[in-house]
Amino acid sequence: MLQGFPPVVARDTHTMILGSFPGEASLDAAQYYAHPRNQFWRLLDAVLGEPGLHELAYDARLERVLSHGVGIWDVLDACHRQGSLDSAIRNAKPNDFASLRAHAPLLRKVCFNGKTAGRFADVIGEAGYETLVLPSSSPAYAMLSFEQKLVQWRRIVG
């Protein structure tokens, strides 16, 4: 069973971005969105107005994102999976979403990075949060260009 990461969150976090589960590169590096072709950090770079965010050391990236009131987590706490594709996820154990209120009492919006994570939008929405399902930042999702994804990702701060 693969184990996910704890949330990147602060008391003043108002927006969370939830992925599905870390890919192999992320698990190996113990960092969210570590695959060099994943567009997550470049998308946030543009959305948050933080030029060069994707080039910073990982801890500095997290600090900058948190300074904008944005947190990062995944919908799954643990699962079995061969490779990095969401379609290969088996025996999934969801994270404890009820704990979001304790971690981030100001949380209002939960964004989902891709359709797999977005399957949890209704559950989170029923808890009183605004939800937004975004196109996946994964290199496996090439149906949209970076620019097309960015148009939708800008709604994070809207």
Higher pLDDT, 44 or 138: 44
Order of strands, sheet of 109-113, starting from the edge strand that comes earlier in the sequence: 70-74, 15-19, 109-113, 130-134
33-42 average pLDDT score: 96
What does the pLDDT read at residue 100?
82
CATH class of 2-156: alpha beta
Higher pLDDT, 73 or 23: 73
- φ, ψ for residue 89, nearest 5 deg: -70, 130
Positions annotated as catalytic residues are: 38
Q: Percent of the chain scored above 90 by pLDDT? A: 73
Tell which residue, 126, 96, 121, has the closest CA to residue 110.
Answer: 121
